[in-house]
Structure 1
Amino acid sequence: MDAHTDPLPRLALGPVGVVVAVQIAVLTALSGRYGFHRDELYFLAAGARPDWGYVDQPPITPVLAHLSATVFGDTPSGVRVAATLIGAATAIVVALVARELGGGRGAQVLSAVAAALSSFVLAVSHMLSTTTVDVLMWTVIGFFALRLLRTGDGRWWIAVGAAVGVGLENKWLVLLLVAALGIALLVTGPREVLRSGWLAAGVVVAAVLAAPTVLWQAAHGFPLLTVASGISEDDGAENRILFVPMQLVYVSPVLVPVWLAGIVRLWRDPALRWARALAVSYPVLCVGLLVLGGKPYYSVPLLVLLTAAGAEPALRWLDRGRRTVRRSVAAVLAVVAAAISVVIGLPVLPAADLGPVLAMNREPGEQVGWPEFAHTVSLAWKQIPVEQRGTATIFTSSYGQAGAVERYREEYGLPQPHSGHMSYADWGPPPDTMTGPVVLVGGFEDISETQRLFTGCRVVAVHDNGIGLDNEEQGTPIALCSGPAAPWSQLWPDLRRFY
């Protein structure tokens, strides 16, 4: 293939650095405003039990949560240092993608700002999640792939393979990106890169890096696939209905013309013919997600990359015709969009006023009320006579509830909780000697099933976060049961839940 080795525009290190510095400052200032997210509580619990895999995820995010909490403090702010740095890295990589596509200083800065302020990226940069890392890894893979296609240097397959391997140690969704890019390359070219001997080397690197997690999943019956199929079965129809509308809002409605311009530019510009695969990979990915019933946000990292591709034509459009009017309108829209993104993605409102925000983003609500939740559980626990507590158990219906009790148990005098949800099930049932009372947290959807598994249950508390916030745990009933209906080891298979 013909290598496109013309000198790239100068890296806008200073202004991009300013964007990233502001991004870090804002995320840090707001990182502790609410509290832990349910997933962060789960990651802390998983990270304290290091392994090569977990039921619903590979190990990277739990390890990051544990390391960040250890180094910076076991607080929301401490855990979220990792998320903040990953969000900043994402903005830098997106700016590098804009440069790789010939974008000058303005395009690089616009791309970094768009990445830092887009609604979805902003939300996942505020809290640590597998998606936080996933967004970064997708953009890194996209950058390395573009460098491979532009230079024709097959050695970049090693970098692509390394990024894919690391991505697989965090979330297997990266395989969708690999498939989409591969199909797009076959359709648009340059196909020569697929004939490079370095491709095999890149595959080996990815396989070696991903092997520990793949082997763990294989040894445990690939529970990650069970979780994924359950999500598709439960939410697939809703995901398909919402897919197209959510594509228009996840990054920002204001940026829709920019990423559309990116698709058009990559397809039409002869100088970027080598990068057409990036434009085609987006519709390929969307078709795959619609078929699989995947969540609409899975495609967001590609939209961020396409926004970088569209930054240069967007700036040229602002310089044409009535520049003052265009720039003024664009500035107003940008300010409004940024304000909306901040309100939706960051904890700027009082927790009691989150109601309207939850209609667009449920995640802030899941960061409120966990210490109070553990306190409610403790009220039920204290109803157990002291002499019976040695054989008593706390059993929760979800990993978030278990994570909250585990995190705050010393503060409220609670024992280690147990749960059959996700990897908590792998961490074992209570000993069969625990035949005493059971504090049963949630899980009353099927009363007959509850009565089959536990005896003498009666609701003794209902959780209230104290501010009337309608999040997932508000109104959770907590029962006190006489005990398990059979030994825990016998009940455990029936108590296991993958979603």
Structure 2
Amino acid sequence: MRKKDWLIILLLAALKMVLPFLLSHPAFGLHRDEYLYYEQGHHLALGYLENPALIGWLASISSLLGGSSFWIKFWPAVVGAATLIITAGITKELGGRSFALLIAGLGIICSGYLRVHFLFQPNFLEIFFWTLGAYFLLRYINTQQHRYLYLLFAALALGLWSKYSVVFFAASMMFSILLSPHRRMLTQKHFWLAVLLGVALAAPNIYWQATHNWPLLHHMKELRETQLQHVDRTTFFKEQLLMLLPVAFVWIGGLIWLLLHKKYRFIGLTYLFCVGLIAAGSGKGYYTLGAYPMLLAAGGVWLEQKLARTAFWRAAFVVLIIALTLPIIPLLLPLRAPQDMARRNEELGLKNIGILRWEDLQDHPLQQDFADMIGWDELAHKAEKAFLAMPDSAQQNTVVYCRSYGQAGALKYHAKDPLFRSKIICDNGTFLLWIPDSLSLQHLLFVGRDMPKKDDAVFQQFASVHLIDSVTNPLSRQYGDKIILFKNANERAAPMATQGLDAMKAQFGE
């Protein structure tokens, strides 16, 4: 690769890495999911109920580095930059030169990836390993060197350690290869040895799933009953255009170029199969984001060939991408303070186009992801204050019970008092597996959205109930979350709670 090309790639990668840190407003903290994944770093395992283990291992490194917001968000930023570099590698494999590299790199910067690479969630790892897998397969096609087959399946295995949706990508890739002249690779022993390598690398996590009664299936069922029940196909396909709107003409042009290119047609087919499989499975629109870097690379090559020796039009398309990106940056990153952002959203009429619609199908002042980044410190500080106001003897026999993993993770992250932190439990998600086998349950400090119902028997075993405080920030998704003190349990409370928790853990082989 020429020095000029490397300079373009490294400058774009550096911009990609620092942009979210430069643009985001400090009033926004961690997202609810980030609290969960960070806490997983304190409980290293081969798997978790919601996701594979890799993000938890990265969280443990962030914890060793101090656990600040920067070190948590460092991973999506640096992996986002690495994704851009691998996308540039795909561009070179497809025959692209400097302008194609610039266009492909801008595609990774000026699109929905801007938000993905700001959040410490498995999606940034998923996108990287899909892209890396596509790169290694292309390298094999272009060089016929067997080592790239082994690297391909190693990348797919690491993708499985990141997010299980890599199965959709791997299946789509295999379908497309079967329909191409490259299917002869399936007759080679190195292909099947590479498959065995991938299976061996993925085996520990598969073993963990098997010994915990396949929590992946339980999690998928839960998603279908909650978050995915409102997903419709029309919205899904509309999101395919909106997620990468400033560079939509690039990836669409790249897709057409691939489908018309006999040697590389399998890449376009991989995309089509992948989108079809995820749509058939009622997945969310952003589940397909890992399939677009290879199309952006192809689009850069296509545009470079179309605009050969026309410097004016090349510059014009770069300006066009940037101009289309600037208006949507406030939709992708929290640039302003929450109140200012809510006011701006209203002025722009974003409610009228569905941008502010949450999973509850209602419109709100802020985008759901941004509302999920505020209010947590208020909740944690108020809960800790309520706990510390209790006598020392009462603190020793108090359980702090949170309804959701976001609440539990936020309290764990923001709390200062070690005793308070040690008392926090939650039966939502993997937090369930971290609950001690026995509880000293004289008092219970409850953190949740609603007062427990009368048919929730454990809560009926306390002599008194006191509403202590709640989240008062109306822009937070946690607005109204309550802190309630249940005092003086009878002798039935602890056995009932333990029995119920043991039954829940038994679903997962614990």
User: What corresponds to 2:176 in structure 1?
Assistant: 184
Paired letter, 1:43: Y
Mapping of residues 455-494 of structure 1, within 5 Å: 455-456=461-462, 458=465, 460-464=467-471, 466=473, 468-471=474-477, 473-482=478-487, 483=489, 485-487=493-495, 488-493=497-502
TM-score, reference length from structure 2? 0.86
Task: Indicate if the aligned counterparts of 1:152 and 1:193 stay in contact, CA closer than 8 A.
Answer: no
Residues 373/192 of structure 1: CA separation in 2 closer, same or farther (3 Å cut): same
User: What corresponds to 2:162 in structure 1?
Assistant: 170
User: What corresponds to 1:140 in structure 2?
Assistant: 132
Residue 269 of structure 2 is aligned with which of 266, 270, 280? 280
Task: Indicate if the aligned counterparts of 1:28 and 1:81 stay in contact, CA closer than 8 A.
Answer: no
Q: What is the aligned residue count?
A: 480
The 2-side partners of 1:405 and 1:495 are apart by 23
**1:116 paired to 2:109:** yes
Q: Which moved more, 1:36-45 or 1:450-459?
A: 450-459
Residue 356 of structure 2 is aligned with which of 338, 345, 359? 359
The 2-side partners of 1:325 and 1:199 are apart by 44
Q: Which moved more, 1:93-102 or 1:232-241?
A: 232-241
Write out per-residue CA displacement over residues 324-376 of structure 1, whole angstroms, 9 at most, x where no aligned residue.
57854x45542333224432232322133344487275223222222211012
The 2-side partners of 1:465 and 1:112 are apart by 42
SS at match of 2:412: helix
The 1-side partners of 2:156 and 2:374 are apart by 35
Q: Deviation at 1:265?
A: 0.6
Q: Deviation at 1:423?
A: 0.9
Paired letter, 1:147: R
The 1-side partners of 2:43 and 2:211 are apart by 18
The 2-side partners of 1:486 and 1:189 are apart by 65
Task: Indicate if the aligned counterparts of 1:391 and 1:435 stay in contact, CA closer than 8 A.
Answer: yes
Q: Deviation at 1:299?
A: 0.9
Task: Indicate if the aligned counterparts of 1:393 and 1:437 stay in contact, CA closer than 8 A.
Answer: yes
Write out per-residue CA displacement over residues 98-120 of structure 1, whole angstroms, 9 at most, x where no aligned residue.
1111111110121112112222x
Q: Deviation at 1:300?
A: 1.2
The 2-side partners of 1:351 and 1:413 are apart by 33
The 2-side partners of 1:65 and 1:169 are apart by 14
Residues 414/116 of structure 1: CA separation in 2 closer, same or farther (3 Å cut): same
Mapping of residues 308-323 of structure 1, within 5 Å: 308-318=297-307
User: What corresponds to 1:419 in structure 2?
Assistant: 426
The 1-side partners of 2:2 and 2:180 are apart by 26
Residues 211/142 of structure 1: CA separation in 2 closer, same or farther (3 Å cut): same
Aligned-residue identity in percent: 23
The 2-side partners of 1:238 and 1:409 are apart by 35
Task: Indicate if the aligned counterparts of 2:471 and 2:482 stay in contact, CA closer than 8 A.
Answer: no
TM-score, reference length from structure 1? 0.88
**1:256 paired to 2:264:** no
Paired letter, 2:217: L
The 2-side partners of 1:81 and 1:263 are apart by 32
In the alignment, structure 1 segments of 5+ residues that lack a partner are: 1-7
Residue 17 of structure 1 is aligned with which of 4, 10, 35? 10
Paired letter, 1:164: L
User: What corresponds to 1:52 in structure 2?
Assistant: 46
The 1-side partners of 2:232 and 2:146 are apart by 38
In the alignment, structure 2 segments of 5+ residues that lack a partner are: 358-366
Paired letter, 1:277: F
Task: Indicate if the aligned counterparts of 2:446 and 2:484 stay in contact, CA closer than 8 A.
Answer: yes
SS at match of 1:426: helix
Write out per-residue CA displacement over residues 276-300 of structure 1, whole angstroms, 9 at most, x where no aligned residue.
1110112211221122111211111
